């Protein structure tokens, strides 16, 4: 780095450490609407719009699936290794050792079967974890001065409402199409 080359250099280029710009907030405060619990306060945290809600849902779900698959891969490796090794009693009896090529084929076959099962389980696990949280999440409406009931991205919003829950966009086929 610059300060290691010349200990007497105190110029801004040598002394200022740049930081990454802050990430924008996923949710921000919105005035509570008539349907919101007044005891919770006059503000609720809400996504800016349905597109940011959808993007956060998909990102969260894919991150959970990714981490689940990584854990499953480790578990499958251990399971496959013990499943394809030579049984202990064959070693004691002195029968022929398992051919390494045969063991490799066994491990490949078992690993692909295990990962296929794990993938389905990981997807359903991610949905199970994401759906309850994102159903309760709030999504801000474009304006709070709407007269009568309005429709925002195909979702009916009550009069004077500043937000709606994530369960309304989920009623469609959105959740089924995220994979």
- Evaluate the CA torsion angle 152, 158, 162, 168 in order and state its sign: negative
Question: What was the pLDDT predicted at 158?
Answer: 60
H or E, element range at 108: helix 100-136
Question: What was the pLDDT predicted at 146?
Answer: 37
Report d(CA 45, CA 39) in Å as an integer. 15
Report d(CA 161, CA 33) in Å as an integer. 5
Question: What was the pLDDT predicted at 178?
Answer: 45
Model pLDDT for residues 74-119, shown as the tens digit of each residue? 999 999 999 988 877 777 777 776 678 888 999 999 999 999 999 9
Rg, the chain, Cα only: 27
Token pair, residue 26, equals 């996923």
Report d(CA 78, CA 4) in Å as an integer. 47
Question: What was the pLDDT predicted at 144?
Answer: 42
Token pair, residue 159, equals 């009069």
Cβ atoms of 138 and 162 within 8 Å: the answer is no
Percent of the chain residues topping a pLDDT of 90: 31
pLDDT lower than 70: segments of the chain: 1-5, 97-98, 142-161, 168-179
pTM: 0.67
Sequence-distant (≥ 6) Cβ neighbours of residue 88 within 8 angstroms: none
């Amino acid at each position: 780095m610059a300060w290691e080359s010349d200990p007497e250099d105190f110029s801004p280029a040598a002394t200022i450490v740049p930081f990454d710009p802050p990430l924008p907030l996923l949710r921000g405060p919105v005035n509570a609407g008539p349907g919101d619990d007044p005891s919770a306060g006059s503000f609720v945290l809400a996504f800016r719009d349905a597109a940011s809600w959808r993007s956060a849902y998909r990102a969260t779900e894919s991150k959970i699936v990714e981490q689940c698959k990584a854990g499953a891969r480790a578990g499958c490796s251990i399971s496959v290794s013990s499943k394809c090794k030579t049984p202990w009693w064959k070693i004691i009896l002195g029968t022929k050792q398992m051919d390494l090529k045969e063991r490799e084929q066994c491990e490949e076959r078992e690993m692909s079967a295990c990962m296929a099962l794990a993938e389905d389980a990981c997807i359903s696990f991610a949905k199970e974890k994401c759906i309850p949280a994102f159903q309760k999440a709030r999504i801000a409406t474009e304006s709070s001065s709407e007269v009568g009931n309005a429709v925002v991205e195909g979702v009916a919003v009550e009069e004077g409402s500043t937000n709606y829950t994530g369960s309304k966009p989920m009623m469609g086929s959105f959740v089924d199409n995220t994979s």
